Amino acid sequence: MSQDTDNQTTPAGEKDWAGAVGSVFFLIVGLYTFVTSFGMSDMAAMFPRTIGAVMAALAVLQILASVTGRSGKSLERGSSVAEQAEGLGRRLVLVAVMAGWALLFPIIGMFVTSFIACVILMATGTFARLSPLRLGILLGTVLVMVTFFYFLMTNVLNIPMPRGLLF
Amino acid sequence: MDIDFGFVLSQAFSPFNLFLALIGVVLGTVIGALPGLSATMAIAVLVPFTFTMDPASGLIMLGAIYTGAIYGGAYAAILVNTPGTPSAIATTFDGFPMAKGGNGDLAMTLASLASVTGGVVGAILLMTLSPMLAQIALAFHSSEYFWLAILGLTLVASLSSGNVLKGLIGGAFGLTLSMIGVAVIGGDTRYTFNTTALLGGIDIVSALIGLYCIPVLIDMVARPDRHLEPAPLGRGFRLFEAIGICAKNGFNLIRSSIIGTLVGILPGAGGSIASLVSYSEARRASRHPERFGKGEPAGLLATESANNATVGGGFIPTLVLGIPGTPPDAVILGALLVQGIRIGPELFTQQSGIVYVFMFGLLIATLLMLPMGLLIGRYAYRFIVNTPKGLLVPLIAFMTVVGSFAIHANPHDVVVMVSMGLLGWLLGLAGYGPSPIVLGLVLGQIAEQGFMRAYMIGGARGDFAGQLLFNRPISWGIVALIVITLAVPIFRHFRANGKAKEVRP
């Protein structure tokens, strides 16, 4: 249901190691939820205790299914681990830009961080060599886009954007 | 009930009100299409302007914005694989694969036709059966809401075909995320790791944007190919082709619209799960269930007709009982009260004129959605297809950041959005899709409230199991649906295994 569903399924009988690792994560979260619920009041603890126990039990079943090759097909999922190798550098740049953007915009200001982040992402999403003219057009478009949404938020929707050290 | 239809029709069809309905639909569609900008925000911003209008005009405009925004949610779901609202989750299942495969134009036209059908059915049921249908909302108590939330999660889990376990685990994880912050019952602070930032919990829309949008962006920058396949030139709206598909799926459309209206009546849970129930039913009834999730038009028709039918359904408890089912309903309820309109059964007797003008206005706005939706949808699709990735990536990324910030004007929501996006990306590698997690987060508080109220009432009576299930006939029905939902994929799995063994020498 996400992308390229046909070639992303786990063939029947093949061990699903990525699924097993993911299930270990959920097992840990389930156990943590269950155990920490004992430090809460009865009213607040009952639901997390139940859900934590259910999640841990289901995760154990999924781990068993994954390592025995009975995990089944998964229609809604992202790219497989092997497919992630393609363009890994660009993927990591995007992750780093998004993380930096989220952390820095309250400090530096929404407009400046957004413009810088958008320019880096523009370069990350561009694969062909750009002529100076085309580069100028793309940079101008990014500037117009950031200005438009900034104006929309501050002046039309009355949402105050963080101005930070710059603006 | 004495209704002056002459007054109602002259008000609803006045040129000024038609103009307002048109503006409302266009604004709602555009705002609903932008991830993070919701129907609630659009209505809340425009409510003060409606105070200067007469009540009928103001309400028509608000209704038009609402119905347009719900429809607009399909744009992001189909073109970017990001549902603008939880009610559009199931639209991504078939809408995005259709767009990815070069049928985005057809998907947009089908979404318009289905949304109009669902909206019209919902509005007609709202006009004709409101007081009677409102009793459905009253028949559901806390236990039923708990089971309804579990039904929603099992439906999503079963849609991860062949991997119900992963779907259920994802749903349980979503429920766990919904527990972060102050407990809905008990008031304890839970899972905040002693940070004030998590006291308010995880915002649903931030999580939704992150879980769906960030993995799409990460995949977009990795490959030089186009985000969506372009449609061959000269195909136009593909309106007649879409009408033909709708005619073949007429029963599916009507059934999904009725399901959307009826499930949409249930405050809180209804809007989120109506489209999932319709999608699941469409897949069950289809001769080709294996095509669902790979770009099957019937799946798109089911979800889009259902989620627009929830607009009419949601207004039933709002207008009859004064119980708003969704945040936009609550804002419109506030606008009604400010205009001096008293909500409740007497609304349909003493102030029937104004309420029927509003309902007719909603119907007209829904019909206007067809030409406007076809036009806007066509250009939105062309824009996404023709915009180079170098601009599309920063545009979508900027909208995710601004959209998640705009929810509460809180930078913490942006951090939540990015964190959930990275988590969603990593979990996607392990075969865990975002839909069960998002639905678990949406339904978490409803499930916990239902479960804990049954626990408290049952505990006081010394009969928790009876209060939760055994003394509640409606709960039996919902639990039976849950069992069937879980059993069907398991049955299919064993049948497929049996066939495979027969083929093997």
Pull the structure tokens for residue B91: 């639209």
Say how far apart CA A73 and CA A5 lie, in whole Å.
10
**Which 3 state secondary structure label does DSSP give B325?**
coil
Residues 37-76, chain A, touching B (beta carbon < 8 A): 40-48, 50-52, 54-55, 58-59, 61-62, 65, 71-76
Pull the structure tokens for residue B496: 């497929």
Q: Which spans in B140-199 are helix H?
A: 142-159, 164-178
The candidate with the shortest Cα–Cα distance to B169, out of A9, A53, A157, is A53
| Distance to chain A for B396, nearest Cα, Å | 10
Residues of A in Cβ contact (< 8 Å) with B203? none
Q: Given a cut of 70, is residue B501 above it in pLDDT? A: no
Is A86 in Cβ contact with B222 (below 8 Å)? yes
Pull the structure tokens for residue B183: 């407990």
- Full residue range of the structural domain in which residue B135 is found: 5-503
Is B183 in Cβ contact with A74 (below 8 Å)? no
Pairwise pLDDT comparison (A154 vs B336), residue with the higher score: A154
Say how far apart CA A3 and CA B421 lie, in whole Å.
16
- pLDDT computed for residue B109 by the predictor: 92
Is B415 in Cβ contact with A59 (below 8 Å)? no
Average pLDDT, chain B: 83
Residue B494 half-sphere exposure toward CB, CA atoms < 13 A: 4
- pLDDT computed for residue B323 by the predictor: 75
User: Measured on CA atoms in the order A22, A28, A34, A36, is the torsion positive or negative?
Assistant: negative
Pull the structure tokens for residue B119: 């909206």
- pLDDT computed for residue A111 by the predictor: 92
Q: How many domains does chain B have?
A: 1
Cβ of residue A140 closer than 8 Å to a chain B Cβ: no
Cβ neighbourhood burial of B153 (10 Å; 0-12, 13-18, 19+): buried
Q: Given a cut of 60, is residue A76 above it in pLDDT? A: no
pLDDT tens digit sequence for B156-172: 787 755 588 888 999 99
The candidate with the shortest Cα–Cα distance to B314, out of B325, B303, B304, is B325
Residues 86-125, chain A, touching B (beta carbon < 8 A): 86-88, 90-91, 93-95, 97-99, 101-103, 105-106, 110, 114, 117-119, 121-125
Q: What single string gives the DSSP state of each residue in B45-86?
A: HHHHHHTTS-HHHHHHHHHHHHHHHHHHHHHHHHHTS--SSG
Complex prediction ipTM: 0.88
User: Measured on CA atoms in the order B455, B459, B460, B466, is the torsion positive or negative?
Assistant: positive
Say how far apart CA B143 and CA B128 lie, in whole Å.
29
Q: What residues does B181 pair with on adjacent strands?
A: B190
Is A162 in Cβ contact with B500 (below 8 Å)? no
pLDDT tens digit sequence for B4-16: 777 777 877 888 8
Residue B171 half-sphere exposure toward CB, CA atoms < 13 A: 23
What is the amino acid identity at position B402?
V
The residue in chain A having the minimum alpha-carbon distance to the alpha carbon of residue B496 is A12
Q: Given a cut of 50, is residue A5 above it in pLDDT? A: no
pLDDT tens digit sequence for A26-42: 999 999 999 999 988 88
| DSSP at A12 | T
